[in-house]
Structure 1
């Protein structure tokens, strides 16, 4: 059975730390971003002032700074961002809502700052050599590295950065424009000085998402349409550039040997393969066969049945392919189903709860998951933000102003999903589901339940591939048992993305990560009332709640990690009581298989697993297995 690879837009962590005069302040535990010194050149930033790397550091601890350059990785990406697709592509522009692009185009672009994957919320300078905060903390002056260059040799200047950010605010993918809405000015003071100004309504962490954004060329997009769905590679400046492309089938990223930033501390030991190749397959079995034949060199396995029974092919038996698990990240994990409350039949929480009762996780784990996966209870699973037990006094202080509009369950023990008897058809849970439907006004009429107008309760479950159909099928059968007219609609990747982006569905599944230190911008994409009407956002249920909006605002204003944890635990209680999302399941580890031709640091960083950037080609290993 399959889990979803993650479409993890703002889960991409690129944040910062501090410069010389402010280092002492930055290292004080619990200091908020808002308390960082102003008027001082900083070499980085962090959400709450906790930094690991001092000015002048030479490389991140989790890399091999002397990793060999060379070789090729044929890579099956386990996650994606913005408009990227795992199954096909018809554009090379990942930065707009239109079209489907290939994963990892982001490798071709530089950003102002780069993340440290062994810290939960720290970023350090890439294009930016330093950043200075204005006294009112609404302005940021970036000093850029004068050596920065695009791949055609032209300089990358402050004018390009200002142009890119204004372009995204106006025309970019909603995940970009949403983050930039509080930016009022982006001004190139001179070729190496950039000023960003905000309206004062931004969260303290807002800048951390902005400094991670890819920077495009003003000259290129002055003569090329940014909105176009095109196979013309954009001019870029990062460690890779787009090489050979076969639309919808293959894309290759070629390492730029004279990349201007190759010796920066944030890049040393990374981006080691001469070529990264991604092939696209319509179904999972074809993709798995590619691994077995050696056409794919690295694959993360999301199908429990295959992991349990399929890894018995010759290359694995003779040791040419390695099958192993790596620890998961220490970041919140969400995989959940949304029922689209823009449609009247799903607005009553009793209907949503009845449908949740029809998901027999215990049976699914035993029969489809081969004992893998655990039941999710929270949108912040595997993190300190998951609510447990009764709310604390601090949580209650945030929740009490909205008591009248919140379900009573919000104020009791954190809501848990029901545990079945594992039969696949738990009569007790299904009877409870039938009672909930009856209470919500759905009465039995023959084989179906109907409302007072005689209309059936219909649920169309939207699926993208066969693995998700297998997950949904027993769920649909249980819904039919209690009179719901349930069906499964499997569509191709293009239709799937379009229907999700335009909220054209009843029932859909989302896997998502919002990073170790969730920002208000990332939370808004999923939960904010304004996002319920914004195409391309991930507020799939259509949630509109003053309480949720206020809790997101509280998280954005958090002045310490303790305050952030409190706000998110309160938000978790509300989401679970409202059942805007039905939690499904999660896996603690990465299950991967790879041809034994790579080197990598054995100690994996806690907040990311970008093997295509961290690993390197080992010539001696490759020669032993005939892959040199």
Structure 2
């Protein structure tokens, strides 16, 4: 929790603001001393203790077949382009996506609820009277994939290991945990210091559990191609380092009949191939080497899907509604570098981004302009601040830009010409106000140093976006350039905050966790390698608003805190918002079965869908 200096605490000025920033109890509406089959941040659970399966699955889905899958998302140290380790739980190295399928967690998420989890390894959880203790009763049948029992000792070991040595996202979530004790093989007690939030606990109960025996005999922090011992529905099969990984379904998986698993994990094999080039990846899909692909390049979606398999109806191309979760793609200017600390410089660079031209010329009419850090959600600030938002913001008025207290800041529309003279004129004036004067082709400061912006890119698609942006920057005297690097360099430079400008796309869940918010915005993360606070944001107001979000006792309180946070981020322009897509653009070989109605808070086709033998035979994939 961010600790407020005494002078700021005393300046709160209203009971509402003081209450919002004082410590609150996580799960305040959930009964204590009672065995619970599930948890949610605000106490509401859709499914009863005797539920048979989630509503969004087919409980009778057949098992079998193979999906060659191009993952649309990743977590922790996972990479889309290559891999050199099978350990996704540490910062070191690049691991393949979906290693998490090899592990179980204490509880599993319901994808049709915004923040609910239900027992997986844990049959039940009981809250202590002070709500700082959580007793988990584990299922005695839980097993690792070598047949050895998975006990409370393994869970305690794993969580303590992550707190001390795990990936920063894991260790940060566990910082409030003071004890993890196995009182017997099926009873685990977790104790917290009182500063934890409900969202924090939900993140912890979803963490992969590893074997104490395995990581007593093996180095946890090693980059290794030896698969760790898992307990989940899949295990690592064939591996070609940097090229291919296959996950094989565990036929005798101990948890296959649990309600949280019924109807899921249907493919016998999930294969992921890695391509350094987007076009090569697309060609693999066209040939049928890849079976499912989500398309993120507007040009390819508009013009590339004209190959024979699609014309012959062997491939399906369609849009599927997106999730009801906050979404953001934005560009960070690294404020660890002094030239970007002035808001006027950031605003000038933002004025050079001509979305309207890009939408027409590069995006084929796709995408909408992002304005918020919480696009597509109730957390997006609109209009003037509410009284609740003002109560949170007012104590920090002296620190905050005055725009925070007016209409929610929005980036201006361009005329779509690609070179909007009005906006570029505004950008030039902002630079002049910030002390950058024109000297020949460039603007310089009082030391004669040019204003330089190197835009860091990983692939050709981002280079296409950056190129017209950099040309507009050059037009107003900024020495702009684009540096394209390979995946390993890209990740390392991000981890070390070694860049001027970079792009990030993120979605932090329907009920954003404090850990997710801190990773992106908290002052401490500005100096923590491996975090996603790329701009180097350091703000007492932002830290306090994250605390307020973590202490929210209802969804309406959470909405108020996050709308206030959104106002601050937009006014400061810590992230320059770019664009978003409302739907998933997907293409797949017509060999799968699935329920047409997808869940609102997730779209993991590799675990929801199944292999349809009849369809596969019709297209020659049987």
TM-score normalised by length of structure 1: 0.95
1:256 aligns with 2:250: yes
C-alpha distance in 2, partners of 1:600/1:584?
33
Q: Give CA-to-partner distance per residue, 1:408-440, whole Å, 9 cap, x none.
A: 000000000010000000010000000000000
Question: Structure 2: where are the runs of 5+ without partners?
Answer: 1-24
C-alpha distance in 2, partners of 1:493/1:54?
45
Q: 2:547: which partner in 1?
A: 553
C-alpha distance in 1, partners of 2:124/2:496?
40
Q: CA deviation at 1:519?
A: 1.5
Q: Give CA-to-partner distance per residue, 1:306-351, whole Å, 9 cap, x none.
A: 0000000000000000001110000000100000000000000000
C-alpha distance in 2, partners of 1:350/1:180?
38
Q: Give CA-to-partner distance per residue, 1:494-541, whole Å, 9 cap, x none.
A: 110111011011000001111000121111010000110000110000
**3-state SS of 1:259 partner:** coil
Q: 1:414: which partner in 2?
A: 408
| Partners of 2:26 and 2:551 within 8 A in 1 | no
1:469 aligns with 2:442: no
Q: 2:332 aligns with which of 335, 338, 346?
A: 338
| Partners of 1:548 and 1:574 within 8 A in 2 | yes
| Partners of 2:379 and 2:559 within 8 A in 1 | yes
Q: 2:433: which partner in 1?
A: 439
1:539 aligns with 2:526: no
**3-state SS of 2:373 partner:** coil
Q: 2:63: which partner in 1?
A: 69
Q: 1:22: which partner in 2?
A: none
| Partners of 2:27 and 2:131 within 8 A in 1 | no
Q: 2:172: which partner in 1?
A: 178
Question: Structure 1: where are the runs of 5+ without partners?
Answer: 1-30
1:608 aligns with 2:602: yes
Q: 1:238: which partner in 2?
A: 232
**3-state SS of 1:498 partner:** helix
| Partners of 2:68 and 2:291 within 8 A in 1 | yes
C-alpha distance in 1, partners of 2:107/2:183?
19
Q: 1:304: which partner in 2?
A: 298
**3-state SS of 2:397 partner:** helix
Q: 1:594 aligns with which of 581, 585, 588?
A: 588
1:493 aligns with 2:487: yes
C-alpha distance in 1, partners of 2:466/2:371?
19
| Partners of 2:26 and 2:197 within 8 A in 1 | no
Q: CA deviation at 1:129?
A: 0.2
C-alpha distance in 1, partners of 2:187/2:426?
63
**3-state SS of 2:331 partner:** strand
**3-state SS of 1:568 partner:** helix
Q: 2:193 aligns with which of 199, 212, 233?
A: 199
Q: 1:12: which partner in 2?
A: none
Q: 2:11: which partner in 1?
A: none
Q: 1:32 to 1:324 in 2, by over 3 A?
A: same
Deviating above 2 A after TM superposition, structure 1's stretches of 4 or more consecutive aligned residues are none
| Partners of 1:32 and 1:49 within 8 A in 2 | no
Q: 1:86: which partner in 2?
A: 80
Q: Give CA-to-partner distance per residue, 1:334-386, whole Å, 9 cap, x none.
A: 10000000000000000000000000000000010000000000000000000
C-alpha distance in 1, partners of 2:152/2:380?
41
C-alpha distance in 2, partners of 1:385/1:218?
41
Task: Give the 5 Å matches for 1:557-596.
Answer: 557-596=551-590
How many residue pairs were aligned? 598
C-alpha distance in 1, partners of 2:453/2:194?
43
Task: Give the 5 Å matches for 1:148-547.
Answer: 148-547=142-541
Q: CA deviation at 1:205?
A: 2.2
RMSD of aligned Cα (Å):
0.7
C-alpha distance in 1, partners of 2:458/2:600?
30
C-alpha distance in 1, partners of 2:214/2:377?
42
C-alpha distance in 2, partners of 1:118/1:40?
25
Q: CA deviation at 1:32?
A: 7.5
C-alpha distance in 1, partners of 2:128/2:112?
29
Q: Give CA-to-partner distance per residue, 1:569-592, whole Å, 9 cap, x none.
A: 000000000000000000000000
Q: CA deviation at 1:204?
A: 2.8
Q: 1:138: which partner in 2?
A: 132
C-alpha distance in 1, partners of 2:608/2:319?
16
| Partners of 1:32 and 1:560 within 8 A in 2 | no
C-alpha distance in 1, partners of 2:187/2:563?
40
C-alpha distance in 1, partners of 2:540/2:265?
44
| Partners of 1:33 and 1:205 within 8 A in 2 | no
| Partners of 2:359 and 2:366 within 8 A in 1 | yes
**3-state SS of 1:178 partner:** helix
TM-score normalised by length of structure 2: 0.96
Q: Give CA-to-partner distance per residue, 1:534-572, whole Å, 9 cap, x none.
A: 001100000000000000000000010000000000000
